[in-house]
Amino acid sequence: CNARAPLRKADSGAVDAWSQARPVLLVDDDPLNLEVAQLHLQALGVQVEMAMSGEEALRKLLAEQGLRYAMVLLDVQMPVMDGLEVARAARSAGVRTPIVALTGNAFSDDRRQCLEAGMNDYLAKPVAPGQLYEVMKRWMAAGQSGTVGAPPAESKEAPVAPAQRDPHPRSD
């Protein structure tokens, strides 16, 4: 699937499962970004709940230890409480739901900061439907099991679903 290509119905074989899944928490302080991302998610058959601030997102996540959500799509740059703070607070409270950063910055340092804060993956804005689909495939199933958690802070590699991780990582 070309990550930049528009999503075709044939590409979304998981849509039936996603429509039965727990909702995705979509967090962004920009109403237009929320609307566009919500439309992309709904086209995949995903149930969506939204929050317009970091504080609101954290309240929703902590209410049920994140178990209400299959995954979180979290804007990094928000006023008052940014996405990095939300991820750190959620992880320190024991929330294991997959968290994917949404950011306008596509630099490796930004990606590193997101992973160090406890996020599992990273999408640069504007998010193409194909890229969103690939991230959804990677994390929705893992989020349903509730066993994901944060990637190791020292990890420099791209995050992967738990089944793909080496159970015996090297310690250099």
From start to end of 13-83, where are the E strands? 24-27, 48-51, 71-75
> What pLDDT shows up at residue 66?
73
What is the per-residue pLDDT for 82? 96
- How many Cα atoms sit within 13 Å of 51 on the Cβ side? 24
User: What whole-number distance in Å separates Cα of residue 139 and Cα of residue 126?
Assistant: 19
Mean pLDDT, 10 residues at a time, the chain of 172 residues: 43 59 92 92 90 96 86 94 96 93 82 93 88 86 59 43 38 42
112, 62, 133, 85: CA torsion to nearest 10: -20
Predicted confidence (pLDDT) per residue in 128-140, tens digit: 888 888 888 888 7
In a 3-state reduction of DSSP, which class is residue 122? strand
Distance CA 54, CA 28 (A): 8
pLDDT of residue 162: 36
CA nearest to 74, candidates 144, 63, 91, 64: 91
Quick one: pLDDT at residue 152? 43
Q: Which pLDDT score is estimated for 166? A: 39
Residue 13, pLDDT score: 53
Q: Which pLDDT does position 164 carry in this prediction?
A: 36
